[in-house]
């Protein structure tokens, strides 16, 4: 049946039912809590940014994937497509004088324009962190380790992090002797993993055969022998420096105790052009797309007038949830409270006190009979239903057992399972 427009949501967006929203919130809270323990403090930036901010941070090419709008004053605005650029703007303005390094965390929805019908979300939640003001391998090791811990905190199950370095690709491309438009085409084909098209493009431009072989070998530089193979291909000081940095980073990640979760992969190509050093992605065998991504971006803040190094990552929350089995909606209140005529005030005070002890309490608002309330509470899985009658309370436990107790005893926490 064809739905009317008012019954639909825009392509690439979706509603979240209560149990789905609870899963999203739980993942975000667990990741933020893990980052808080590492000293990362949460910031919030606007959903809307000036278009100029996003173009300054990500380049003119970002315009093709933005949702843009014009306000009543004629200002060009856009919905943020990711969180790193807004955080960079925040650091360059209100946090400009803050002591370094800055450890910042964030969570919120981002928006990316996709073709209608592509099946890809155009709005999705992210949670992540940025370490600003430290250009060391120690900072890279911290952010990679924190990414590993963030993945573990999501509860996704068995996962791994693939670690690469954009400097190796840039070093190889620099030796091709090609103009920038051709290099952009090579990067695009690598990102799309179109190796047939990549070979054709390289051969068509007459690139040196040894360097062509090195570029084509890039996707195979992964796993335990990746560094050894990369060292063999490194024929410039710049490429050798990348290899030695990765070797040093491996030693640090071993010290953190997470190297068994990390795999070297020099074929990683991230889809933002501001990365300058390490790049990494988080994966699970249950899903064919990355669950998180990040890396070092030492020149992004320069574009905002603050030449600070930085590194960070973001978790795609909806992908994390897709990678795991969706549990049944097992939510139920701890208690349902009803009342006789004249006992409303006492019942509401009782419900308030139970909530203050951490219990989930629903008050009857439909005017149903006690039997209806009690049966519905049992059907919903509530632990008990309570009927307040003056200074007494009729308690019906799940399973049908019923007893009467003084209201004062309930308030004092003596109602068996009604304790905190």
* Contact of 193 with 219, CB cutoff 8 Å: yes
In angstroms, rounded to a whole number, what is the distance separating the alpha carbons of residues 280 and 262? 9
What pLDDT does residue 202 have? 83
**pLDDT mean by block of 10 residues, the chain; 420 residues:** 90 94 96 98 98 92 91 96 96 97 98 80 97 98 98 92 92 82 82 82 82 82 91 90 96 98 88 82 92 95 96 96 82 95 94 94 96 95 95 92 90 53
What pLDDT does residue 117 have? 65
What pLDDT does residue 271 have? 60
In angstroms, rounded to a whole number, what is the distance separating the alpha carbons of residues 216 and 196? 10
φ, ψ of residue 344 in degrees (nearest 5):
-60, -50
* Contact of 87 with 98, CB cutoff 8 Å: no
SS3 per residue for the chain: CCCCHHHCCCCCCCCCCHHHHHHHHHHHHHHHHHHHHCCCEECCCCCEEEHHHHHHHHCHHHHHHCCEEECCCCCEEEECCCCHHHHHHHHHCCCCCCCCCEEEEEEEEEECCCCCCCCCCCEEEEEEEEEECCCCHHHHHHHHHHHHHHHHHHCCCCCEEEEEEHHHHHHHHHCCCCCHHHHHHHHHHHHCCCHHHHHHHHHHCCCCHHHHHHHHHHHHCECCCHHHHHHHHCCCHHHHHHHHHHHHHHHHHHHHCCHHHEEEECCCCCCCCCCCCEEEEEEECCEEEEEEEEEECCCCHHHHCCCCCEEEEEEEHHHHHHHCCCCCCCCCCCEEEEECCCCHHHHHHHHHHHHHCCCCEEECCCCCCHHHHHHHHHHHCCCEEEEEECCEEEEEECCCCEEEEEHHHHHCCCCHHHCC
* Contact of 47 with 80, CB cutoff 8 Å: yes
Decide: pTM greater than 0.85: yes
Q: Tell me how far the alpha carbon of residue 233 is from its chain's centroid.
A: 35
192: alpha, beta or left? (left if phi > 0; alpha if psi -120 to 50): alpha
Q: Tell me how far the alpha carbon of residue 232 is from its chain's centroid.
A: 36
Q: Is the peptide bond before 133 cis (omega within 30 degrees of 0)?
A: no
Q: Which domains does the chain have, with CATH numbers?
A: 13-323 (3.30.930.10), 335-418 (3.40.50.800)
In angstroms, rounded to a whole number, what is the distance separating the alpha carbons of residues 308 and 350? 55
């Amino acid at each position: 049946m064809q739905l009317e427009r008012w019954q639909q949501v825009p392509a690439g967006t979706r509603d979240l039912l209560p149990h789905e929203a609870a899963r999203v919130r739980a993942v975000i809270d667990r990741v933020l809590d893990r980052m808080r323990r590492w000293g990362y403090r949460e910031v919030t930036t606007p959903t809307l940014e000036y278009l100029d901010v996003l173009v300054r941070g990500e380049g003119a090419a970002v315009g093709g994937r933005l949702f843009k709008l014009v306000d009543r004053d004629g200002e060009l605005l856009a919905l943020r497509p990711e969180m790193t650029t807004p955080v960079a703007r925040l650091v360059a303005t209100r946090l400009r004088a803050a002591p370094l390094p800055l450890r910042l965390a964030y969570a919120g929805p981002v928006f990316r324009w996709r073709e209608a019908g592509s099946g890809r979300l155009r709005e999705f939640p992210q949670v992540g962190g940025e370490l600003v003001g430290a250009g060391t391998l120690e900072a890279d090791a911290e952010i990679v380790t924190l990414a590993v811990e963030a993945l573990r905190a999501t509860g996704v199950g068995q996962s791994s992090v693939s670690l690469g370095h954009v400097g190796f690709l840039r070093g190889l491309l620099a030796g091709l002797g090609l103009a920038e438009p051709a290099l952009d085409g090579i990067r695009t084909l690598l990102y799309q993993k179109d190796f047939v098209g990549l070979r054709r493009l390289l051969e068509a431009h007459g690139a040196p055969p040894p360097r062509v072989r090195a570029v084509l070998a890039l996707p195979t530089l992964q796993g335990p022998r990746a560094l050894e193979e990369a060292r063999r291909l490194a024929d410039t000081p710049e490429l050798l420096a990348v290899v030695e940095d990765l070797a040093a980073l491996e030693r640090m990640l071993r010290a953190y105790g997470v190297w068994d979760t990390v795999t070297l992969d020099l074929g990683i190509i991230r889809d933002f052009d501001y990365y300058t050093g390490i790049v990494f992605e988080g994966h699970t065998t249950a899903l064919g797309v990355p669950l998180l991504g990040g890396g070092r971006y030492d020149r992004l803040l320069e574009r905002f007038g603050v030449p600070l190094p930085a590194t960070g990552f973001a978790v795609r929350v909806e992908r994390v949830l897709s990678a795991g089995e969706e549990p049944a909606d097992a939510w139920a209140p701890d208690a349902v409270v009803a009342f006789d005529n004249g006992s409303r005030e006492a019942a509401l005070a009782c419900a308030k006190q139970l909530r203050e002890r951490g219990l989930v309490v629903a008050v009857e608002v439909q005017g149903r009979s006690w039997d209806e309330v009690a049966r519905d509470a049992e059907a919903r899985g509530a632990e008990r239903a309570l009927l307040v009658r003056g200074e007494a309370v009729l308690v019906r436990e799940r399973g049908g057992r019923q007893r009467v107790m003084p209201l004062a005893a309930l308030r004092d926490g003596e109602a068996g399972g009604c304790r905190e």
